[in-house]
Structure 1
Amino acid sequence: MSQGRRGFGRIRKCQPSGRYQASYVGPDEKLHRAATTFAAKVDAEGWLHERRREIDRELWSPPATGEQKKAKRKADVKFGDYADKWVETRTVKGKPLRPRTQAHYRSLLKQHILPTFENKAVARITRESVDRWYSKTAAGTPTLRAHAYSLLRTILESARTRDKLIDVNPCAIEGAGSSDRVVKPKPATYDQLDTLVNEMPAQLQLMVLLAAWCAMRFGELVELRRKDIDLEEAIVRIERAAVRVDGGWKVGDPKSEAGKRDVAIPPHILPAVEHHLAKHTLAEKNALLFPARSGEHMQPSTLYRHFYKARTVANRPDLRWHDLRHSGAVLAAQTGATLAELMARLGHSTHQAAMRYQHAAQGRDKLIAAKMSKMVTDTPE
C-alpha cells in the first residue's frame, strides 16, 4: 500500500486493488478512516474536503462507532417490518406457525395493529401509545380485542428478549390479553340437527352430520378426502386442515398438535357416510368429500348460504357453523366421556376447552332429577 501526504488527511493507494483509502486526524485527536475505499483519488480528496469543511464550520462530530451504528439500526426498526418478519419466522416448539395461525395473525395485524403502529419505530412505542390504541381498538368485540392485544404484546416481548430492540415491553394492561366469552353457544337438539341436515343440499348433508356427531372443524371438513374415511373400522382420520390465505387455500396440519386424530363415526350416521361416498364423491383416493363445483376447496360463503337458510327453518337463527362442533362435544360429554377422551375426540391439546363441554353436559342433572321425581309421581297407587 502506497501513501501520499497532504495538508489535511492522508490518501493511500491500496495494493493490489488500486483503490484509494482516505483518513484524517479529527479535533478529538483520533484517526478516522472513510467507511469505504474509493475507485478514484479525486473521490477520496472530495471526501476529505467535506470533513475539513465540517471541522472549519464546527459541524463536525465523531463518526459513529460500530456499537453506535448497531444501536441506531435497532432504533430505526419499524414495527411493520419487524412484525412481518416475526410472523414469517415465528416458531412454536421448534416448528413454524401453522397456516391457520399465520393467517389469523396477519389478519389481526392488518385490521387492528398496523394502522396505528406500522410506521412507528419499535423503540418508540410507549406504554401511553399502547394504552391509547387499546382504548379504541375493537371495543365492541372483546375477544377480538384480546387477541389483537395479546399478539402485539407477544411481538414486542420478542423485540425485548430476543432482539434487544427495547428494554421494557410497553404492553402492561392487566388482563387485556383475555376476555370473557360473550356468546355462550346453545347446543342444537336432536330434532334441530335433523332439520338442519334435511334442509341442506344433498351433497352437504354429511358435512353437517360430521361437524356435529364427529365434532369436526370447518377447515378439517373442507380438506377431508375419500382416503380419510375407513368404513371397515368406522373412523374418520383427521390429518390435515385447509385455511384460506390471501384469497387462496393452504393445506397444513390441523389447528393443534393434538388435532391429528382418528374419530369414531357414530353407527347411526354410517349409512349417510356410505351414501355420500357412493353418490357425491369421485372414485380417486384423493377426491375431496365436499368440493366446490370447480373441484377445489369449497368456499365458506357457499356453505353459509345454505346453512343460514337451514338454521332459520330449524328455528335456530343464533346457531353458528362452529356451534355444531360444540353440539357434538356436548353430546359426547353427555355419554359420560372422560376429560382425556373428550380431548382426544375433539383434538384439544389443553384441558380447558374440553372442561367447558363437561360443564355443559352437567346441565342435564336437572333433567335427570325431574325424571326421578316423575318416576315417583307416575307410580300407581
Structure 2
Amino acid sequence: MRKEQTWGTIITIHGKSTTYEARYTYRKQRICKRFKDKLSAQGWLNSEKTLVEADRKGISKWTTPSERKRQEDAINRRKRLFCDYVTEEFVPNWLDYSADGRELASGSKRKHREYLAHLSKVFFWKYPIAEVSTEDINRWLSNIKNFGGATPRKKTFQLLKSVYEKAVNEGMVDRSPVTMKAPKVPKSKQAEIPPATAEQLQIIYENMAPTTRISIWLGAILDMRIGEVTALQVQDFDGKTQTIHIRHSESDDGELKDTKTDASHTTQPVPPILAGLINDACKNKKPTDFIVTKPNGERIHKNNLRDDHFNKAKIVAGRPDLHFHTLRATSITTAVQVGASLKETMQWGRHADAKTSLDRYQRASGADRMRELANGIEARLMPHEPTEAELKQAIVETKKRLADLESQLDAIYHQKR
C-alpha cells in the first residue's frame, strides 16, 4: 500500500484488483472515496479542493459528499412524475394484495383496477409528484362526471390519499396535498328499502323450491349474504351445538373464497326451529355437499338463486323492491327491535367497521322505535286508567292470539293421531 502526497491523499490498495482511495480532511471531517483508476481519484480530489476553497472564500457553503447526494436525491425526487411513482412504487403491491399481505379476491382486484383507471385519467397524472397542489385535487374532484358516480369518486380519492401517505412516509414529498375530506356518497336507494315483514317472508319461503327456500331464513334470521348462503356446506353446521360456521362465500366465477371481511368469518348461533330445517336439509348428504341446492340436488350459484328463485317469489309476496341483501337489513332491524345494543348490532351484523352498524342501528331505532320506547316507558312508570278504545283493542288482540294458540294446539293433536 503506497501513499502519494497531493492536496489530500491517494492510497493505492493492492488486492484481487488494484483500487485507489482518495482522502482529505476538512472541518474535522475525514472524507474518502474509492476509484478503479488513479486519474479518476485525482480528478475527484481536484473538484473537492475547488469546493473547499470556495467555502473558505465565502463564495459557497461546503457540505460533505453524502449531504450533497441527499440534496441531489431530494431534487430528483421532486422531479419524479406522479404517474411513475404510482405505477412503479405504489401499484405493484396495492393492486393485488391487502394491507396485511393477503391476496385480494377477484372482485376486489377488479375494483382496484377500476379505481386505478380513474386515477390515471387525472390531468395531473404526468405532473412531478411534488408539484401537485391541493387546488389541483379540488379541481379534479369538482367534476363527478370524471368518475361515473359518487362511489367511484370517493374510492379513487381514497386511492390518491393512500399514494401520498406512502410518498410522505418515504420522503418523496414533504407533505401531502390531499388535505380535504373524502367526498360524501349519498345513501343508496337499496339502503332505503323497507325490511320485509314476517308475513312477506313466509310467502316468499312458501313460493320457493324446497331445496332453496331455507335461504330466506338464513338471510333474514342469521344475517347471511347470498354468496355465504350458496357456499354453505353440511360440515359448516353443528346440530349438537346448534351453530353454523360462516367461513366461505361464493366468488363471481362460482368458486369458494374467503368471506367479505374478517368480521364476516364467524360462528353464529342457530335458533331451534331453523336448526331443525337446516338439519332436514343436511340429511343424506356428505360433509362437503352444499345445504342450499338446485331442485335436482346440484350445486346452485348465487345468481341462479337470486334470479330464478328469490326474485320470482318476492313478486308473489308483493315486494318486487326487495333485494336478497335486504334480508340482512331485516335481520338487523329485528335484532334492534328485540333490544340489541349498538355493540351487539355490530357483532350480529358482522360489519368490518362501526359506521356501517351505526347507520343500520340508527335507521332501525328511528322515530317509530323511539315512539314505541316512549310509550313503553310511560306504561311502566306512569299509572293510568285504560280508555274504552284501549280495552276494546286489547280484547281484539287477545282473542286473535287465543285463536292462534288454539289452532296450533289442534295441529299438534292432529299430528299425534
Same fold per superposition (TM over 0.5): yes
One-letter amino acid matched to 2:197:
T
- Distance in 2 between the 1:120 and 1:319 partners? 47
**C-alpha RMSD over aligned residues:** 4.4
Task: Confirm whether residue 153 of structure 1 aligns to residue 155 of structure 2.
Answer: no
Task: Determine helix, strand or coil for the equivalent of 2:142.
Answer: helix
1:324 corresponding residue in structure 2:
327
Cα gap change, 1:106 to 1:223, in 2 (>3 Å)? same
Q: Helix, strand or coil for the counterpart of 2:120?
A: helix
1:229 positional shift: 0.6
State which drifts further: 119-128 or 332-341: 119-128
Query: Post-superposition shift, 1:329?
Result: 0.9
* 8 Å CA contact retained: 1:228, 1:238: yes
Task: Note if contact 1:238-1:262 (Cα within 8 Å) is conserved in structure 2.
Answer: yes
Is it true that 1:190 corresponds to 2:195 in the alignment? no
Alpha-carbon spacing, 1:377–1:341, altered in 2? closer, same or farther (3 Å): same
Alpha-carbon offset, residue 379 of structure 1 = 6.9
Alignment of 1:221-232 (within 5 A): 221-232=229-240
Contact 1:79 1:122 in 2 (8 A): no
The structure-2 alpha-carbon separation of the partners of 1:199 and 1:264, relative to structure 1 and needing over 3 Å to count, comes to same
Structure 2 equivalent of residue 301 of structure 1: 303
Partner of 2:47: 30
In the TM superposition, what whole-angstrom CA distance separates every residue of 1:171-229 from its partner, at most 9, and x where no partner exists?
2333x344342432311111222233334444332223211110012343343222111
Cα pair 1:80 1:118 within 8 Å, conserved? no
State the match for 2:23 in structure 1. Answer: none
Matching residue within 169, 175, 178 for 1:171:
178
- For residues 365 and 253 of structure 1, do their structure 2 counterparts lie closer, same or farther at Cα, with a shift above 3 Å needed? closer
- Say whether the 8 Å CA contact 2:200–2:317 is kept in structure 1: yes
Contact 1:226 1:277 in 2 (8 A): yes
Distance 2:346 2:210 in 1: 31
What SS does the corresponding residue of 2:94 show, helix, strand or coil?
Answer: helix
Q: Say if 1:308 and 1:248 are closer, same or farther in 2 by CA, change over 3 A.
A: closer
How far is the alpha carbon of 1:167 from its aligned partner?
Answer: 2.0
Distance 1:113-1:212 versus aligned 2 partners, 3 A rule: farther
Q: TM-score, normalised by structure 2?
A: 0.63
1:260 pairs with one of 251, 261, 265:
265
TM-score normalised according to structure 1 size: 0.68
Q: Report 1:14-53 matches (<5 A).
A: 16=16, 23=40, 29-30=46-47
One of 274, 279, 282 as aligned partner of 1:274: 279
Would the alpha carbon gap of residues 271 and 179 (structure 1) be closer, same or farther in structure 2, given more than 3 Å must change?
Answer: same
Per-residue deviation, 1:28: 10
Q: Which residue of 2 aligns with 1:354?
A: 357
Structure 1 residues 379 and 72: alpha-carbon distance in aligned structure 2, compared to 1, 3 A threshold = closer
AA at the equivalent of 1:276:
A
Q: Distance in 1 between matches of 2:276 and 2:354?
A: 33
1:137–1:358: structure 2 CA closer, same or farther, 3 Å change rule? closer
* Per-residue CA distance 1:64-100 (angstroms, 9 max, x = gap): 96433575367253323333234158765xx335735
What residue identity is the alignment partner of 2:270? I
Deviations 1:300-359 (A, max 9, x none): 433332233333333323322221111111112211123333232222354443344443
Q: Are residue 212 (structure 1) and residue 229 (structure 2) matched?
A: no
Counterpart of 2:40 in 1: which secondary structure?
strand
Cα distance, 1:137 vs structure 2:
3.9
Overall identity of the aligned pairs, in %: 21
The Cα of 1:270 is off from its aligned counterpart by 2.8
Unaligned runs of 5+ in 1: 2-11, 32-63
User: Which structure exhibits the higher relative contact order, with contacts defined as CA atoms closer than 8 Å and separated by 6 or more residues?
Assistant: 1
2:88 paired residue number: 81
For 1:16 and 1:254, the matched residues in 2 are separated by 59
Distance 2:394 2:207 in 1: 41
* 1:40 equivalent in structure 2: none
What SS does the corresponding residue of 1:262 show, helix, strand or coil?
A: strand
Stretches of structure 2 that go unaligned for 5 or more consecutive residues are 2-11, 20-35, 49-66, 380-385, 396-417
Q: 1:311 to 1:142 in 2, by over 3 A?
A: farther
Report the equivalent of 2:118: 112
User: Retained in 1: the 8 A contact 2:254–2:301?
Assistant: no
2:243 to 235, 256, 276: 235
Q: Please tell me whether Structure 1 or Structure 2 has the larger radius of gyration of its CA atoms.
A: 2
What is the aligned residue count?
A: 330
